[in-house]
Amino acid sequence: MTVAGPLAHAGHGAAGPSWFPLFPVALLAVCYVLAAVRDPRGWDHRRTAAWLVGCALLAVAVGPLAQLPDNPSGHMAQHLLLGMLAPLGLVLAAPVTLLLRIAPPPMRRLVGRPLRARPLHLLAHPFTAALLTTGGLALVLLTPLYAVAERHPVLHHAVHLHYLAAGYLFAWSLAGPDPAPHRPGLAVRVGALLAASAGHAVLAKYLYAQAETLPPGLTDREPEAFRSAAQLMYYGGDLAELLLAVALFATWYHRRIGSRRDAPTTVTGRAPSTPDLGTGTEARPGRTRSGRLP
């Protein structure tokens, strides 16, 4: 299910160390903290901590790990952070909810419009997101894309960006506390997590067994190094998937208990309908409206 993969670092030695990717990460961290401080109702510090942890993992991935000599295991560790662990921290920080709480009504409507768009509903379906993560990884490892990206830095960074975006989308579709209209029920999300986890495990085992020929197109092949990377992919992915499962059930439980405790009822016993967050007003009953973690 991971979007991690041992993508080689193109131009590693020729271009020299580059710490430029750390600046966007630092900017993300600072902007979130400033937004949290502006929340008039008080933002949960645990969500701020989750965001900062996610940013710290991103910083490690694009900073120190990116400067290591070419080593499949090092690259695998980098992409486990980029594609699985960092996105989970960022998702649990509920950045969209924070933005909706501090933004003026026109901005809330602007943010809410894409949240209600049909293309996003399809893209954010758990099985679609699982296909993007696992399928993207398989595309890199099972085709010459790995070798091509090794020689082209722009493609290399584009694949990294895809890993991060797909990992965020998958974590959000499963366990995100942010608004997600038409999010499927728990059974569908658990099924998507199990399917993606199985696909990730099979891919890791296949890479281990075929390390002499995978990824295709390489001129300098190190089978033992790729076997070590496949092992890290397998066991590191298990840890990340376990954390995602914990977040999934915690978010589901929090919403279930919160809807029973907080949702007002009419004389018929039904909760009245109110506009969604994207309209610039309060959320529907049962949705998370505070900045509190599960």
Q: Give the other-Cβ count within 10 Å of 40's Cβ.
A: 7
What's the sign of the alpha-carbon dihedral 204, 208, 210, 215? positive
Distance CA 202, CA 194 (A): 12
- Name the H helices within the chain: 12-15, 22-38, 45-62, 72-80, 86-92, 95-102, 105-115, 118-123, 126-142, 145-151, 153-175, 186-209, 223-262
| Residue 190 confidence (pLDDT) | 97
pTM reported for the whole predicted model: 0.83
Query: Which two tokens mark 158?
Result: 């584009």
End-to-end CA distance of the chain: 24
Taking the chain (294 residues) in runs of 10, the rounded mean pLDDT of each run is 41 51 93 95 95 96 81 84 96 95 90 83 92 91 87 87 94 91 90 96 95 86 91 94 96 80 48 39 40 50
Query: Which two tokens mark 24?
Result: 């966007």
Q: At what angle do helices 223-262 and 72-80 cross, to 10 degrees?
A: 10
| Residue 273 confidence (pLDDT) | 37
Distance CA 215, CA 71 (A): 14
| Residue 264 confidence (pLDDT) | 53
Distance CA 68, CA 9 (A): 9
CA atoms within 13 A on the CB side of 155: 13
